[in-house]
Structure 1
């Protein structure tokens, strides 16, 4: 049996050590590299070919969701399991929209990490069992009223930052440099913003940004 290779990405060394110990109890799985921030993770992918990345949602330098978007664009075959402290449908929604394959809460039992990895290895999506109550309530509410029980903010924090800069007439290149992300990621965010808001033109995005208080009329 071929070894299943994983990269760990979390800025806490002690947490990475504990996660690695749990993962490698399965002799068929090996942690081949570790990253302490999002940019370091992207650099590792130039020299390593993991089957999966276990990725903290709150990474420094490049956030977990941002890193996931970048990775899925460049390496769509790599599976991504998000580790999150946020027991929130909104965070889950943003993570799944970024293309991740699983969402595990840090408060989950250690055995759930192994369960999550096994589920994703079998090409299924894993969602923490601690999220099941929120999901069930939201589904029930949507059936009763036609609306979600959770008032989602349609844009992620990073998308709001990108929208603000768009409204300030910054080019894609300017935005990439200011936010320390790739040009491809900026284009992805711009397209995602337009799709989520159902706005086609930049002028419409500027009006939305002003209405939401992200910028002021110039």
Structure 2
């Protein structure tokens, strides 16, 4: 059987080096490329055909999570495992909704990483059991998230303005839309990200770099 071909995308060189050592302990895995930011990754993929990309969620020059749709355009068959330190529920939902095949916390790099890769190789969506329990997720929640579309350009625009403290009326005036339309967009955003309050929405926007 041919080794499972991997690309590592993370802006921390020491982490990539350690990750490569862990992965290449398995004869079934082969690291065929590395990238230190989102733009470098997209350029790299034009000349490589990996089976799986291990992708940091917050790299510079095109954030990892924003690179997912572009990766799918360049290499539709490549699968994506998000690597992150973020344990917030919204990040899991957005990553899977954007098209990632799994979500893995960096602190668990080791034997659990092999399990994650094997699950994805078999066509499953990987989220650690303890992580799902901690966040109130189950497999059905994750699979439903896959079916939800990512935020639209307008929704991202409204998310940024909400995070800046703008009221619905102020947002409506800035974007030349009705207050009703703003409220509808906010409801859609909250639903897609599985957020329950404006404070959660603002926290998410700050962590994701929308402001």
TM-score class, shorter-chain normalisation, is 0.5 to 0.7
Matches within 5 A, 1:32-111: 32-111=32-111
Gap runs ≥5 in structure 2: 142-149, 162-175, 187-197, 206-211
**TM-score under structure 1 normalisation?**
0.65
Q: Deviations over 1:86-133 (max 9, x none)?
A: 111111000011010010011225111111111111111110233122
Structure 2 match to 1:160: 156
Gap runs ≥5 in structure 1: 143-153, 166-201
Asked whether the 8 Å contact 2:45–2:74 carries over to 1, the reply is no
Structure 1 match to 2:123: 123
Structure 1 match to 2:113: 113
**Alpha-carbon distance in 2 for matches of 1:158, 1:13:** 35
**TM-score under structure 2 normalisation?**
0.67
**Alpha-carbon distance in 1 for matches of 2:106, 2:59:** 14
Q: Deviations over 1:169-214 (max 9, x none)?
A: xxxxxxxxxxxxxxxxxxxxxxxxxxxxxxxxx9469952898999
Structure 2 match to 1:208: 182
The size of the alignment, in residue pairs, is 164
